[in-house]
Amino acid sequence: MSTYKGSCLCQAVQYEITVPEGGQQSYTVCHCKDCQKWSGSAFTTNFVLPTSGMKLTKGTEGAEIKAYTVTKTTSGNALGRYFCGTCGSALYDKTAANDGIVILQTGTLDDAFDAVVHPTQEIFCLDRRAWLKPTDGLKQVEKMFDTGS
């Protein structure tokens, strides 16, 4: 097990995640238009972990942490977008399709997470910014990945 700490830009929200050693990991770069709006950037980096694998150490949902629910999604499943109400940092998503998982925005991790854990795929590549190239070694998916559900 490895533990990593994260926080929003203003530090009002802090958290810890636990990643099982060699465990099943889903780490996806998403180029979809929603993710571009949500992040204010070209793509998002989404690490999926069980709800039990993420612990808020500062800040709570409904107080410091605000949420916006997107209902018009490609999958048809409502997606809650959770962010810091003070500084606006994008923190994580929760999907109506599975209440047992959290989709973490890894840009908010403080520790050297990316030295150890790397994305495995890029999705919604059709929406990728024209100046971005596919990343070597990552599976390229035109639209949505198969969620298996």
* In the complex, least distance from residue 63 CB atom to Zn ion, rounded to whole angstroms: 12
Q: Which two tokens stand for residue 88?
A: 């606006």
Q: What is the DSSP string of 21-54?
A: TT---EEEEE--HHHHHHHTSS-EEEEEEEGGGE
Is residue 120 within 8 Å of 19, Cβ to Cβ?
no
Should residue 32 be labelled a site residue for Zn ion when binding is judged by CB under 5 A?
Answer: yes
Q: Which is nearer to Zn ion, 117 or 141 (CB)?
A: 141
Pick one of 30, 54, 101, 125: the residue that binds Zn ion (CB under 5 A).
30
CB-nearer residue toward Zn ion: 20 or 143: 143
Least distance to Zn ion, CB of residue 43, Å: 8
Does position 104 bind Zn ion by CB under 5 A? no
Q: Could you say whether residue 10 binds Zn ion (CB under 5 A)? A: yes
Q: Which stretch binds Zn ion (CB under 5 A): 1-9, 67-75, 104-112, 133-141?
A: 1-9
**Stretch of 5-13, 108-116, 128-136, 141-149 lying at the interface with Zn ion (CB under 5 A):** 5-13
Distance CA 122, CA 89 (A): 22
* Burial readout 30-69 (b: 16 or more C-beta within 10 A, e: otherwise): bbbebbbebbeeebbbbbbbeeebbeeeebeeeebbeeee
Binding site for Zn ion (CB under 5 A): 8, 10, 12, 30, 32, 35, 84, 86-87
